[in-house]
Amino acid sequence: MRYLILLLAISMVVTSCSTMKNTSSVSPAASTHTQKKPGSPEFIETISIKPSTGKEIIEVPLKKENAPLSGNVGDHSTIEFASPTLLKYAILMNAPVEELNNEKLIHFIDDWYGTKYRLGGEDKSGVDCSAFVQSFMLCLYGIGVPRTSKEQYLESDRIKKAELAEGDLVFFHTRGKGKSISHVGVYLRNNKFIHASSSGGVMISDLDESYFKQRYIASGRYKD
């Protein structure tokens, strides 16, 4: 009798343990579904930043042919690997990364970008608008232009605003109510131009910004 009771107790314990195991276990499929793979890219809208042992890599989707410059691309099948520098200027110029294929231009802009403004200055310790244009035109296109914005205006060929292309000059009046030329920049693309601003140094601005829109006078082109 004692043997029978002991056997019954052992049977109850085994059954109890088996039930607990079944109710507390988590299926492998559910567990792996919620876990994130180490090293997987973090997506922020259409841009992902991948962990890297060396230089940071930023992935941006290529612009599809005839697609607008802004908005959702919607297709991640083709990825352009871009450095943070290239991505920065793609954003500043409102251009697809793959279209910024003039490395010399990007390097020149990045080399001067943020240089402080100094009236009469001609180097990276401080530069004014016309001296910056001088360096830009000579280094990138081999074109020598005069030293002052007024002379650059007088010696360039007039073109319409709608005809602006990379390397054309844009002229402004920035001193009081007068209409005389007092500021100059170099057109890049998509209404953007680069210039040495008295307030922010060498920077990229938009012709449609209210300040420049009100002060724009003319555009000029130098032939090779």
Average pLDDT on 67-74 reads 36
In-domain check, residue 16: no
Q: What is the pLDDT of residue 81?
A: 62
In-domain check, residue 5: no
114-161 pLDDT, tens digit per residue, is 999 999 999 999 999 999 999 999 999 999 999 999 999 999 999 999
Question: Same domain, yes or no, for 87 and 189?
Answer: no
Residue scoring higher pLDDT (106 or 38): 106
Does the CA dihedral 140-141-144-148 come out positive or negative?
A: negative
In-domain check, residue 46: yes
SS3 for 111? helix
Residue scoring higher pLDDT (178 or 201): 201
Window from 17-21, 130-134, 168-172 with minimum mean pLDDT: 17-21
Question: Same domain, yes or no, for 126 and 213?
Answer: yes
Question: Same domain, yes or no, for 121 and 97?
Answer: no
Residue 190 confidence (pLDDT) above 80: yes
Question: Same domain, yes or no, for 55 and 138?
Answer: no
Residue 199 confidence (pLDDT) above 50: yes
Question: Same domain, yes or no, for 50 and 81?
Answer: yes
The CATH number of residue 167's host domain is 3.90.1720.10
How many domains, in total, are found in the chain?
Answer: 2
Task: List Cα–Cα distances, 47 to 23, 42, 57, in angstroms.
Answer: 42, 9, 11
Residue scoring higher pLDDT (86 or 73): 86
Question: Same domain, yes or no, for 162 and 66?
Answer: no
Question: Same domain, yes or no, for 215 and 162?
Answer: yes
29-63 pLDDT, tens digit per residue, is 433 334 444 443 333 333 333 333 444 444 444 44
In-domain check, residue 32: no
Catalytic residues: 129, 183, 195
Q: Which domain holds residue 117?
A: 108-221
Mean predicted lDDT score pLDDT of the chain: 75
High-pLDDT (> 70) share of the chain, % = 63
Question: Same domain, yes or no, for 115 and 92?
Answer: no
Q: What is the pTM of this model?
A: 0.66
> Which of 101, 135, 168 is the last residue in one of the domains?
101
In-domain check, residue 26: no
Question: Same domain, yes or no, for 97 and 48?
Answer: yes
Q: What is the pLDDT of residue 28?
A: 38
Distance CA 105, CA 113 (A): 12
In-domain check, residue 127: yes
Residue scoring higher pLDDT (66 or 168): 168
SS3 for 169? strand
Distance CA 202, CA 198 (A): 9
In-domain check, residue 172: yes
Residue scoring higher pLDDT (92 or 6): 92
Residue scoring higher pLDDT (73 or 100): 100
